[in-house]
Amino acid sequence: MSKLNVDQKNIFDLLSDKKADFLIPDYQRPYAWDEDQCQTLWDDIFLFSFPDNDYELFDENEEYFLGSIVTYKNAQGKSEVIDGQQRLTTLMLVLRAFYDKFANMQDRNSILTRDRIEKCIWKTDTFGTADKSTLKIDSEVATDSDKEEFLDLLKTGQVKPESKSQYVNNYRFFQKKIDAFLQEFAGYFPYLPARILNNCILLPIEAESQDTALRIFSTLNDRGLPLSDADIFKAQFYKYYGGLNRKDEFISDWKELEEITKLVFHPNTGTPMDELFTRYMYFLRAKKGNKNTTTEALRKFYEQDKYKHLKQDETLPELKALALFWKSISCQDKERFSDNILKKLFVLNYAPNGMWQHITSVYFLQNRMEDGLLKEEKFRDFLNKITAFIFTYAITNSGVNALRTPIYDEMINIVNGVDVTFSKYKFVENQARSFFENYKFTNQRNITRSMITWYAYTFSDQQLLDIKEVFHIEHIYSKKRQEMECGLKNTSNLELLGNKILLEESINIKASDYHFEDKKKIYGGAQRRGKNKEPSKIAEISQIIDYKEFSEQNIVERNKAILDKFFDFLRDEDLLS
């Protein structure tokens, strides 16, 4: 069992300890507390110390718990902060701001309080005198360009007027709060910092190793900014590359990865770096031959065998290659991909679920050449195959969980050098067609957008669309028109794919409720209200505009054309039995 030293301490006892020597390590996040979080901290400690704005109501036996500080002693004997760095840093700024205010105060309480704050900020000599050149806290955060400013601020109390770092912003915030407090409670000024030092409690948890400290952190509910899974992995990488004397190289690579992933990934949960590790995880699972459809939690997966996967020379380069691959997709890099490939990737960007990203990540890592590129024809065939299969499966076997079985099988085939065929999961044509014909393609269902985006690119003259542009699903025969005219015998035909088309957001907003004759003018960019409008970039629009009227019969006929073309696609991809 891991040994822990756990003993709650007030701020003074924790920081004034002669052995106190905190280090915020390279792999931690930069300081990020903003004014709102500082305001909350200030309000909490003020209301606790001066209940109802009355210093006499304070109970000296009361304590206010500020949270935990998880550390472990590194090889240099410093307490490396795994959790609580944001809170600890902010408390140091608060104490420094109070310390400066006591400079010209000569009453006994002020002198004593200032002396106690000194012992919390600076190390002391044999006789207890503060050494103003040596702080109780240090920062080596690789991605924090302002850390030296923080350390200088603690040492000198001086800030550059032009500085806008988060450290300085928060320091100035606390200065203003302290000034306001001093004006209102001048006679009791020392009481507030004294109560912060004596009655505000932290729970220092000192683990015997970094691994133990990380494990403890993962079980705590941090009030501040919690480390992500990727931050935990960074600590493991840091330790590994430090042992190889390649720490600086790792820090540079990690910072670059963070910058890339911020631009590329926008996950609903977790961080962009977590998303990169998730996509890489599927490659590692496939290499193990793991077909289990119950996917492990990200941290659980990587911590297996003492973070074995993070202690391999190839891991970081593969992560970087994968990040750059997805960056090229997100910016539609025409030097890396042909227009034909980019069109297929655009369609997949509107896939009904994210499973295509995982299998494509596996395909890339397995099949990339030395220059990081993929063979055009093979990649094209792969994209066609997964598009046809995933889109169909969303109709015939709804739910992403059902998709895992065939996708995981094919991931393993990929790493074994076998082409993706989904041969064990072909669709019975009549059954699949029935599913499509009876499916309710409402706009709220992801597969609706998937299908109309796919159909847009079946037109040979369809240009590559900008992946960053917003497109809506347009009802060619508008719902509003049906309500006014009752023109459709079967109102359910409104939601057929035959009545839907991809359309630019700006054009769709203008065209949504108009009669078809007016819609055509807007689609085509005709003048309206004295302003020239750009025509739609959707190639099929030019055909729609040629219709004299768009009736119920047109909806049904176009719907059949879409399904016919899609089933031809399935047939071409050998996915029908």
Residue pLDDT, tens place only, 382-437: 999 999 999 999 999 977 788 999 999 999 999 999 999 999 999 999 999 999 99
Alpha carbon separation from 228 to 144, 254, 361 (Å, rounded):
17, 14, 22
**In the prediction, which pLDDT does 134 show?**
93
pLDDT at 217 exceeding the cut of 80: no
CA pair distance 477, 499, nearest whole angstrom: 6
**In the prediction, which pLDDT does 572 show?**
97
How confident is the model over 269-291, as a mean pLDDT? 95
**In the prediction, which pLDDT does 296 show?**
85
Residue in 443, 366, 352 with CA at minimum distance from that of residue 402? 352
CA pair distance 122, 103, nearest whole angstrom: 16
What confidence tier does 532 reach under pLDDT thresholds 50, 70, 90?
very low
pLDDT digits (tens, 9 = 90+) for 17-74: 999 999 998 778 889 999 999 999 999 999 998 888 777 777 888 899 998 898 989 8
Q: At residue 493, what is the residue type?
A: N
Helix (H, G, I), strand (E, B) or coil at 346: helix
What b/e readout covers 389-399, taking b as 16+ CB neighbours within 10 angstroms?
bbbbbbbeeee
CA pair distance 469, 181, nearest whole angstrom: 51
Helix (H, G, I), strand (E, B) or coil at 5: strand
pLDDT at 224 exceeding the cut of 50: no
CA pair distance 274, 433, nearest whole angstrom: 39
Lowest-confidence pick of 144-148, 171-175, 420-424, 486-490? 486-490
pLDDT at 338 exceeding the cut of 50: yes
Helix (H, G, I), strand (E, B) or coil at 80: strand
What confidence tier does 564 reach under pLDDT thresholds 50, 70, 90?
very high
pLDDT at 531 exceeding the cut of 80: no
How confident is the model over 141-163, as a mean pLDDT? 87
Helix (H, G, I), strand (E, B) or coil at 135: strand
How confident is the model over 196-211, as a mean pLDDT? 88
CA pair distance 442, 271, nearest whole angstrom: 31
What confidence tier does 129 reach under pLDDT thresholds 50, 70, 90?
confident
How confident is the model over 94-108, as a mean pLDDT? 91
**In the prediction, which pLDDT does 222 show?**
44
pLDDT digits (tens, 9 = 90+) for 230-246: 988 888 888 888 889 99
pLDDT digits (tens, 9 = 90+) for 454-490: 999 999 999 999 999 999 999 988 877 766 667 677 8
Model pTM above 0.85: no
